[in-house]
Each structure stands twice: as structure tokens, then as C-alpha cells.
Amino acid sequence: MEIDEIKLKASHCLVCLKKSCQSGCPLQNDTMEAIKLVKEERYKEAYELFCETTVLQSICGRICPHEKQCQGKCIRRIKSEPVQIGSIEAFLGDLAIENNWQIPKNNEIKNKKVAVIGSGPSSLTCAAFLAREGYSVTIYEKYHELGGLLNHGIPEFRLPKEILKKAIHKILDLGIDVIKGVELGKDYSIEQLQENYDAIYLGIGANVSTKMNIEGEELAGVYGGNELLENNTHPDYKNKCVAVIGGGNVAMDTARTIKKLGAKKVSVIYRRAEEQMPAERKEIEDAKKEGIEFLFQNNIVKIIGNNKVEKIECIKTELKKKEGDDRLSPVNVEGSNYILDMDYVVMAVGSKPEEKLLEKLNIKLNKWGQIEIDENNMTSMNGVFAGGDIVGAKSTVAWAAKSGRDASYSIIKYLNHK
């Protein structure tokens, strides 16, 4: 994006006394002060101000649901369009990469070592905030590319791989070591790491697609959205009809990817109203422009076929308030069932941790099957911390990053008293 265009976007900011945009950001980025610096063409200072709270500027600036976070709190939105904070943040992150601006670092070396498991947004953030304070950090990653869901779960059209790679390299330039191609519970254990590290951070994510437990879900042709995106192994969609169940960003990413791969028809089925969809508004609008059909206030109740998917049975829903709850919840409309011809069904209704791995860790889980942590982000195992999706953090990149950053503060406090 050109500097003149960014300056124009920055000029839209009213420089409010009350920093509403900051309150809407999970990371509490001081966006208003950064925009003031952009107006004054002090771009490096603006970037370094963002660095106080985040190391994922090029990433969050592109893929965060800004209209529900920072831009959703912008005062400008009341009478016009909000300030395009995401574009400004991404611009500063990209400018830092282009000009090799370093993430500010404390040069004091601490004689403590931390292992970070996984390399998604929570792990990268935790590792960066530890390394910048002088701690020795090593990231362990089961794949041969870093990024976690950023690399394996978000399509190229939303987050260019080259930008991601450069943003990660900037984090690694803080002096972080990396060991790739090794998997927790298979190639090493937490107990083995404890022999060599003073603290451990678990940021292994929760990328197993949740099932709906409806009839026919075991048929060939039923996939999990997370797995399709992560493994990038798709069937042949040419001239096929595909139903994507869900309303989050995984549903949008999956539906758009499948459409780009040649599907004749892609239908997103969501049991609530459009305004209740958790996906980013821009992704929904882009999906519509690409010809994807949306069936709001509809739900799938059965998958029909002889060994493989042939049809699906759906039902219409209406939104009602349940007793003792002010929220509108979807309720099936009796007798509104109907049948659609379908070749594939993709479940994108949520995700959960990998159960077999968690069983090997001997760490206490909560009632939702996630790793339980205390107020200091520590698990039931002393010196072992966790964050991100594996502990149930809200499922956006910024919330995952916040979880990792919070854990880094707790780890530093722990190491200082060890």
C-alpha cells in the first residue's frame, strides 16, 4: 500500500481523548498514538510503539476481525466509516520488514532457558516477549514450517506466505532457536524438556474439527474444515456441490478455498442470523462476491447416502430468547425440513485439542477437555505454562497472541523467583 494512501487513512482519525479503539483491541495496542505518529511521518516510532504490545503487525493488520475489535470501537463509525486501523498496522509491519527495523530488545542476558512448544500466534508472541527480555528461547515445531494455524490454516489469499515468513524471521532475529520436525508426545516428552529448560510454554493449539454427531457424519465425503486447511489435501470439487457448516473464519476460509478449487456450488449453512456470524465481515462479503451461497437460519440434521454423501437434510430455525437468557438462540422450526443434493459436507462448527496427545501429557484438563491453567497461566505441572486455543482462549489471532504475551509475563515472574 502506498504511503499517500496510508496518510489519507490516518488523517481520518479524530485523535479522541478517550482511546476507544485501544479498548477494542485484545492486545490493547495504542493505535491512536501510532496513527498520530503516522500523520507526522514518524513511521519507525509508530512501529516501535506497536511493538510494545504486539509482534504480529503484518499478520493482525490483515486477518483480525477489525470491525469487531479496534475498528468496531472507533468513534468515526457512528456517523461514517471507521478509521482503517488494520491497513495502517499492516503497512507499518510491512515497512518494518522492508527496512529491516528490529523489534526493540533488552540487551541484558538472563541465564534462564525456556522451551516453547508450537509456533502459532500464541507461541510466537510468548517466545518474542521472552527473548526480547534476554531469556534463551527455543521453539519446538512438529512441521518443517513455522506459523501453526497462520501457515497451515489460513489461505494464501488472506495471508500471503511470503509476508508470514518474513514476519516470523523478524521474531526469530531476537535470537530465538528453532527445532523443526519433532512432535511432542512422539519424539520427546515434557519430562525430558524439564531436564534442560527452566520453564516450558505449551501453545500447541486445538485444530481437530468438532463433530455434530448427526446421522451420516461417518460417510465418505464428510470432512473437517480445520483438517482440509491444515493438510491442504482436497478431493476433486469440479462440478460438485459442497455444503460448509458453520459461520466462523474457518467456515469462510474453507468455503472460499473450495470455490476457488472449482466447485460448482458452495453453500454455507449457518443456524443463526447473518449479523451473528463470528467471521470477519470482509470475509463474508468477499465470499458472497465469489458466488458462495449463504443459508442463514438453517441447520443440517442428517447426511444421506449409500457409503458416500449424496444428499443432506436441513431444517429452518428461528431465533428466540430462552428462559433466563437475553441472547437470541436458534430453535428448529418443526416441519420445515427439506432435502438438498450434495457431494461433500465440510464441518466447520468449532475445534478441539488432540485428545490422544493430551492423554500423554499427564496435565490436568478442564471440563471442556482443554488444558487447565491458573491465574498465572501455569498448568498443573510446575513450571509448565500454556496459552492459546489449547486453554480455550477466544479464537482470533489477537486473542491467541494476548494469551501468549500474558504467559510470557507469568513465566518471567516465575523465573525471577525460581
Closest CA to 119 of 195, 177, 45: 177
Is the Cα dihedral 260, 342, 223, 372 positive or negative?
positive
Q: Where in the sequence of the chain do the CATH 1.10.1060.10 domains occur?
A: 3-99
Give pLDDT, residue 300.
98
Does the domain made of 113-206+353-416 have the CATH classification 3.40.50.10470?
A: no
Only one residue has cell 478455498, namely 257
Q: What are the strands, taking DSSP E only, across 186-288? A: 199-202, 208-209, 222-224, 241-245, 265-270
**Exposed (0-12), middle (13-18) or buried (19+): which is 362, by Cβ within 10 Å?**
exposed
344, 309 in Cβ contact below 8 A? yes
**CATH dotted code for 3-99:** 1.10.1060.10
Q: How much is the pTM?
A: 0.92
Does the domain made of 219-349 have the CATH classification 3.50.50.60?
A: yes
Collect the ranges in the chain with pLDDT lower than 70. 1
Cα(333)–Cα(10) distance, integer angstroms: 48
* CA atoms within 13 A of residue 381's CA, in its CB half-sphere: 19
334 contact partners, CB below 8 Å, separation of at least 6 = none
Do the strands 311-321 and 328-332 form a parallel or antiparallel pair, or are they unpaired? antiparallel
Give pLDDT, residue 1.
62
10 Å Cβ neighbour count for 344? 23
324 contact partners, CB below 8 Å, separation of at least 6 = none
Using CA atoms of 58, 64, 67, 71 in order, give the dihedral in degrees to the nearest 10.
-40
Closest CA to 254 of 148, 353, 162, 349: 349
**Exposed (0-12), middle (13-18) or buried (19+): which is 371, by Cβ within 10 Å?**
buried
Q: Where in the sequence of the chain do the CATH 3.50.50.60 domains occur?
A: 113-206+353-416, 219-349
10 Å Cβ neighbour count for 188? 15
- 407 in the Ramachandran plot: left (φ > 0), alpha (ψ -120 to 50) or beta? alpha
- 153 alpha carbon, distance to own chain's centre: 9
**Exposed (0-12), middle (13-18) or buried (19+): which is 275, by Cβ within 10 Å?**
exposed
Residues above pLDDT 70, as percent of the chain: 100
Cα(127)–Cα(121) distance, integer angstroms: 10
270-303 pLDDT per residue, tens: 999 999 998 888 899 999 999 999 999 999 999 9
3 state DSSP class of 396: coil
* CA atoms within 13 A of residue 368's CA, in its CB half-sphere: 15
60, 401 in Cβ contact below 8 A? yes
**In this structure, what DSSP letter does residue 188 have?**
B
- Output the nine-digit C-alpha cell for 141: 515445531
**Angle, to 10 degrees, between the axis of helix 85-99 and the axis of helix 31-39?**
60
